[in-house]
Amino acid sequence: MPAKKKLWFSGVIAVLILLLTVSIGSAVNAVRSMQTAPTVESLEKALTGTEAPVDIAVPTETATPVATTPATTPAQLSSAEVSSFLALLDQLPTDDSPASHTGYNRDYFNVWIDADGDGCNTRAEVLMMESLSQVTSRGTCTISTGQWISAYDGVSVSDASKLDIDHFVPLNEAWGSGAYGWDSATRVRYGNDLGYDASLLAVTASSNRSKSDSDPAKWMPVSHSYFCDYAATWVAVKWRWSLTVDSLERLTLQSVLNGCSGITVALPEKAEVVAGVAPEEAAPVSDGVLDPNYGTCSVAHANGAGPYYQGVDPEYAWYRDRDKDGVVCE
């Protein structure tokens, strides 16, 4: 074959080889593209859940929170306690003329007795129960020392002789609120009530004298932090003994309790109350001898003088009748 013709034939062969290579590469790429591209069928399978989709994120299911009923809080419990004492107050009958029930005498309540015969009278029992430390005593059961906090004024006391045992609802107040119609045994049980811890309270003598026979409309303790428990206890004792309240007393108690967020006083149980006849008290008679004007009842007592009765003893006019009971220097 001539050299020129051989050269032409080689060039043709090279071009054919080049074209064949390019065609094969394009075909391979086309096949690869068909294999990797998502088809309509593959997408349908992914949507119907029969095949995992390509490059599609499956959302994670989030649990829905379950609503729960909140636990009762201390504040809610306290409110319920306050409402309980307001309910007791609503049950107390009203008597707006307690002063009309005359004839009160502290001796009718026979304080203090030894109810259980253990040698300790009611005063000693209260001092032992309320002391924050071990008490000391002398004789049979006369309490000497201990540690007490006087609730009315917050004073800390270690000498028992500086304490009075206060009838939370004073005897004279109880008399005018219903005790005038009790039998003698019920009055004695009231005067020595150890069946409800709040009935009797060890307090400083000065705070007890300040309170005297006053109800909450006329007197409240110096310690404002004690107002709520004081009002609740007053209601509790009156309810326990089926006593009455007057309108102003009721209004005061409602006002105090409605402002309370918590009470630490236990609810009482009903005491047995037996009706009876008020004891006959002999009318006071003047001895006909005019005592000196001692200036104060303390000095009069020191000299063995008193008591003086309104309308009977001229000496009555010389002294102040603080409780308006018609008797001074009693």
The secondary structure of 86-136 as a DSSP string is HHHHHHSPB-S-GGGS----GGGG--S--TTSSS--HHHHHHHHH-SS--E
Give this prediction's pTM. 0.63
pLDDT over 60 at 215, yes or no: yes
Q: Return all residues near 118 (Cβ < 8 A) that are at least 6 apart.
A: 141
Q: Are 233 and 118 within one domain?
A: yes
How far, in Å, CA of 235 to CA of 192, rounded?
18
Of 256, 280, 304, the one marking the end of a domain is 280
Q: Are 128 and 152 within one domain?
A: yes
4 against 158, higher pLDDT: 158
Q: Which pLDDT value is given to residue 312?
A: 83
Assigned domain for 306 exists:
yes
For the chain, the domain total comes to 2
Cα Dmax for the chain: 182
pLDDT digits (tens, 9 = 90+) for 290-304: 888 888 887 777 777
Q: Are 236 and 329 within one domain?
A: no
Q: Are 255 and 117 within one domain?
A: yes
Nearest to 130 by CA among 97, 168, 176: 168
105 against 312, higher pLDDT: 105
**In terms of residue numbers, what domain contains 328?**
282-330
> Each residue of 284-295: b (16+ CB within 10 Å) or e?
eeeeeeebeebe
Neighbours of 79 (CB within 10 A): 15
Q: Are 316 and 273 within one domain?
A: no
Structure tokens that stand for 20 in this block: 């064949």
How far, in Å, CA of 270 to CA of 286, rounded?
43
pLDDT over 60 at 308, yes or no: yes
Q: Are 101 and 145 within one domain?
A: yes
Q: Are 128 and 268 within one domain?
A: yes
